[in-house]
Amino acid sequence: MTRKLVLLLSLMVGLFMATNASAQYSRISNIVTTTHNMSSTGSGDIKAVSNTQICYYCHVPHQEEATTDPLVTTAPNGQDPLWNHYLSSTASYGVYSSPSFDPLGTDIADLGGATAGSAAVSNLCLSCHDGTVGVNTVYKGQYKSGARISPDFGGGNNVAIYMPADMQVGSDTLGLRDEHPLNFTYDAALAAKSVSLVVPTVEVSNLGGTRTGLRTSSGKFLPLFANKMQCATCHDVHDNTSSRPFLRASTTGSEICLACHGK
């Protein structure tokens, strides 16, 4: 085999893997056109007046620990993925309970105060969507010394801007008790206890290693986190181009529901 042919084949394989990987994982660049783009270039109602940094309100490349700041609920160091937004201090959201779910004997646990492990995936969402922390409350990148809440949303320094009520989850007296259950192990053992739950699959990742989740009828992938169902199992926070609100699959024909409940 000639050197040119080897190089050509290598290039083709590389392009295939890159294309396949981009199709399977979050399309991060798509956030530019979503309401999670809270910079001044965003299309939503909640956005900055002049700050053009799209990733800033959630992420920061260099974290800092501010243990003397009374507003800090938990140190950001070690909080993936390079988180820049204050976490909620809500101690308890409650857990889902129903006559059909309870007999399954899951390990469902309260998400309140969760800052580590797979539970933190959902806590990142709740840090804005439980309505207790301003979307402009950040750890680093403040506009002046001592300011922990960005004034760039038009309210002034240290004036928090909160999610509207229709975008809040777990903020009422029922918390998460009347929402789809979260933070429980979903595996073959659990599926075997139900007449309708689909057994999750373990797939080889094109980026190395494996991942666990469920496939929809159109091939969309719903990831599990350490085998647990979290907010990001059904929602892709960076991509709202296909199914709203940030759903990984369509609700048409209940496609996203039947990925788990279609046996």
Mean pLDDT score, 120-144: 83
User: What integer pLDDT is reported at residue 142 of this predicted model?
Assistant: 53
CB hemisphere CA count around 127 (13 angstroms): 26
Q: In what order do the strands lie in the sheet with 221-223?
A: 201-204, 210-215, 221-223
- Alpha-carbon distance of 122 to 119, in angstroms, equals 6
Can you name the residues that pair with 229 across neighbouring β-strands?
184
Question: Is the confidence at residue 1, as pLDDT, over 90?
Answer: no
Residue, of 22 and 223, whose pLDDT is higher? 223
Residue 116 has a pLDDT of: 64
Tens-place pLDDT, residues 198-251: 999 999 887 788 999 999 999 999 999 999 999 999 999 999 877 888 999 999
pLDDT given for residue 26 in this prediction = 62
Arithmetic mean of pLDDT, 188-200: 96
Mean pLDDT, the chain, whole residue set: 82
- pLDDT bracket for residue 20 (50, 70, 90): very low
DSSP symbols for the chain: --HHHHHHHHHHHHHHHHHHHHHHS--GGGGGGSTT--STT-SSSS--SS---SSTTTB-SS----TT-TT-SS--TT-TTTB-BPPP----------TTTGGG-------TT--STTHHHHHHHHHHHTSSS-TTBBSS--SSTT--B-GGGTT-TT---PPPGGG-SS-STTTTTTS---SEE-SHHHHTTSSSPPPPEEEE-TTSSEEEEEE-TT--EEE-BTTEE-HHHHB-TT--SSBTTTBSS--GGGHHHHHHH--
pLDDT on residue 55: 92
pLDDT at 66 over 90: no
User: What is the chain's Cα-based Rg?
Assistant: 21
Prediction pTM value: 0.83
1-10, 11-20, 217-226: segment of lowest average pLDDT: 11-20
Query: How, if at all, do strands 221-223 and 210-215 pair?
Result: antiparallel
**Of 81-85, 106-110, 175-179, which range is least confident?**
81-85
Task: Give the model's pLDDT for residue 27.
Answer: 74
